[in-house]
Amino acid sequence: MQHISEIAPLRAQLNAWRHAGERVVLVPTMGNLHAGHRRLVEIACGQGDHVVATVFVNPTQFGPGEDFSSYPRTLDADMEGLRAAGADLLFAPATAVIYPGDATPETWVEPPVALANILCGAFRPGHFRGVATVVAKLFNLVQPDVAVFGEKDWQQLMVIRRLVADLNFPVEIVGVPTVREADGLAMSSRNGYLSAEERAVAPALYAALQTAVGRLQAGALIDDVECATIQAIDGAGLRAEYVSVRRADDLGDPTRDDRALVILAAARLGKARLIDNIVLQRD
């Protein structure tokens, strides 16, 4: 696996692959990789000829008081994991490579307010602007045929799909189902913030969503399910930020006739902010 940190050698290698008619697949990450990330790379290997993984802790998607400075940087371990999973090239640039001259750019990609300022966006103002901007930059630099993202960040996946559609990026977006621990907790780089006691409590978030899915499929009212799920999360010892049932394909408010739904939740537990979701079909 090649390790590249500058744009010129990255483009040289990508141009060589393209001239040979080979498909390039992108897997963007912020590093501190776990089995969920490795699954993304494994899926990517079946989507094209060469897999480019990126490790970049993007400052523009962190808000004031968030964990940008403390976010774990584990590049050596990440390289070993990516190599074992089958990546062909790791692009791990410095901040100044992605944002020349200033980590706060003057040119941004602004996702639609109705998509980016709800759910996590309501609690993390500007987060999805930072996500959309850095993903657009990576699409420009790598020009992949396919890009692979995890479904745990469902709202992010919807923002990226909209970005591709609205800006005419010729990139196929592949979503990969959430990889979970044996007790149901969604794998996340931020799970490392949990103490042993908090880690024992954390699976209650997914358990509450599973109960909610059963109630929705049995015909319960959405408002009632959302309220009951918040109570269950809080009662387990977490602090719910939101629980929301949305249309799965665009995060719009569901009507009585909508069948493809997603229930999304975010909760605080100690120093960690946990997110999760379940996609469901309503009868």
Tokens of 68: 């940008």
The residues with which 236 forms a beta bridge, in sequence order, are none
Q: Can you tell me whether residue 219 is helix, strand or coil?
A: coil
21, 25, 81, 103, 115 from 34: Cα distances, Å: 32, 19, 8, 27, 28
Give the DSSP letter string of 7-66: HHHHHHHHHHHHHTT--EEEEEE-S---HHHHHHHHHHHTTSSEEEEEE---GGGPPTTS
**Residues annotated as part of the active site:** 37
Exposed (0-12), middle (13-18) or buried (19+): which is 34, by Cβ within 10 Å?
middle
Cα 150 from Cα 162, distance rounded (Å): 16
| Tally of CB atoms within 10 A around 183 | 12
Q: Compute, in degrees rounded to 10, the torsion defined by CA atoms 7, 11, 13, 15.
A: 180
Q: Which residues contact 146 (CB under 8 A, 6 or more apart)?
A: 23, 24, 25, 26, 44, 47, 48, 171, 172, 173, 174
Cα 240 from Cα 273, distance rounded (Å): 10
Cα 29 from Cα 54, distance rounded (Å): 6
> Is the CB of residue 58 less than 8 Å from the CB of residue 66?
no
